[in-house]
Amino acid sequence: MMTPGDQAVFTKTDCAMNGLRQSVSHIGVFAALDDDELMDIIRTCSMVHYPPGKIVCDAGDPPGALFLIDKGMVRLLHVLPDGSTEVVSTLETGDAIGALSFLEGKPRSCRAVAVSPCTLYRVDREQFNTLRANLRPSAFKFIRVLSSMLTARLRDINERMRVLQEDPEGSIAYLRRRAARLRRQEAR
């Protein structure tokens, strides 16, 4: 379901398939789909724009849309009980925001904030679930690709935990460099 301010992305009548494929090829979830599957998923999308500092979605929000970053950078923040935040991750072009909530149907676990001007594809969960309920292969392939993205993130976290346990001093040095890099990015 499109919300006020959303723009329709593409329809078959206003965009040739080659042009569509080229315009979304940098987004891994779309690149994995064949032409018919891509059209199914694109029909559930709208395009939204966020200025720097704007909250895309907040921790605790009910599940709604999945956001795929077309352009820009989004920071995921863990909101602490005192209201302060910790950086969880920084996502860029091609990454997905809200995949866990989208797949599980549970409230969002992080706050997502635009760091730079962002253009996002908003995949509507209700429309997507209609595809799934109608047993459209595109929905199941899309779920598989999203699951693979989440699995890759989990493997990366597991590897970071292994390195932390094997080399605590090196890990602390890495975390200090990462914190300094994030501070520089925030200062921009």
pTM of the model: 0.75
Distance CA 172, CA 149 (A): 27
Q: Is residue 185 one of the residues assigned to a domain?
A: no
Residue 126: give the domain boundaries. 7-149
CATH of the domain at 91: 2.60.120.10
Identify the band that residue 59 occupies on the pLDDT scale cut at 50, 70 and 90.
very high
The pLDDT value recorded for residue 13 is 47
Q: Is residue 115 one of the residues assigned to a domain?
A: yes
Q: Residue 65: CB partners within 8 Å, gap ≥ 6?
A: 57, 98, 102, 122, 123, 124, 125
Q: Is residue 177 one of the residues assigned to a domain?
A: no
Q: Is residue 167 one of the residues assigned to a domain?
A: no
Mean pLDDT over 39-46 rounds to: 87
Helices (H) and strands (E) in the chain, counts: 7, 9
Q: Is residue 179 one of the residues assigned to a domain?
A: no
- In tens, the pLDDT along 121-148 reads 999 999 888 988 888 888 888 888 888 8
Q: Is residue 20 one of the residues assigned to a domain?
A: yes
Q: Is residue 135 one of the residues assigned to a domain?
A: yes
The total of structural domains in the chain comes to 1
Given a cut of 80, whether residue 75 has pLDDT beyond it is: yes
